[in-house]
Amino acid sequence: MPERPLARQFPTALVFALRNQARNRLAWILLAAFVPAWYGLMAALIPHDPLTYRLFSSGRLLRVDGRHLGLVTAGMNSLTLIVGFAVFAAIRRALPLDRRLVFAGYRQSLLVGAKALATAVVAVVVALYATVVLLAFWRPAAAGFAAVFAAFALMALEYGALGLLLGVLVKGDLEGFFLIIMGGLTDTFLQNPVGNPVANKPILQWFPSFGPMQFAGGGAFGGGPSWLGLGLGLAWAAAFAALALVVFQRRTRSRRHAHTSAGEPSSASRLTSAA
């Protein structure tokens, strides 16, 4: 059986990645049930009190509706958990197959790239659903809706890339779930001035949710979208994906090197010779 050409490796790996995501029924059930329930809880708990929200790209202080800002934060919080869990679980489930594919001649960069693209597809789909459900609780203007959708997609992409990194990095499921839960809850809570009195401090610029929250806040509440925030969010997602590639390469390369140094033929060679 000859090795699969490079031109066909990426589409095959992408199909595998998308299929693994589509089979995660628990994640889709959580998406359908948890997102509206979380919105409803936040809408019931947070009043329509005015709040001051700082737009760091321009230095402006915006007066926003506390419930509306809380709903945006709630949407981002739900996306961090659902997308992070879905991608992490899919990566962990497919990791043995990915290692066999590498030993059979697939490039690590193509496999990780296909998973990153599948994560982006999932992020856009989930973000669109979360934004549409938001309309049942708050009706922003068209520009605000677009800004919230873009921010949701960016947030989902960040934590999907984090799930990708943790999927190839940690040794157990419990560690990955704990890091996603604590990271997502802490990250989004700190950006929300409803429950965090220091939400407008410069230190928050070092957190992954800062970029998406700034983009959504500026676009939805009249300050103009923060393109700097958009760039920061993309940088976080790219950094997580790049680290995942480095970790995956090191783990698969070490085993391949061990086989070669011991005088054993590679998986691709055994397949070719058997044919």
pLDDT tens, N- to C-terminus, the chain (275 residues): 345 566 688 888 888 888 888 888 877 888 889 999 999 999 998 889 888 888 887 778 888 888 999 999 999 999 999 999 999 999 998 888 888 888 888 889 999 999 999 999 999 999 999 999 999 999 999 999 999 999 999 999 999 999 999 999 998 888 898 999 888 888 888 887 777 766 667 778 889 999 999 899 888 888 777 888 899 999 999 999 999 999 999 888 754 444 444 444 444 444 334 33
Alpha-carbon torsion (205, 209, 213, 214), positive or negative: positive
Separation between Cα atoms, residue 227 and residue 213, nearest integer Å: 12
Separation between Cα atoms, residue 12 and residue 97, nearest integer Å: 13
What backbone phi and psi angles, to 5 degrees, belong to 52? -100, 125
**C-alpha count within 13 angstroms, C-beta hemisphere, residue 31:** 24
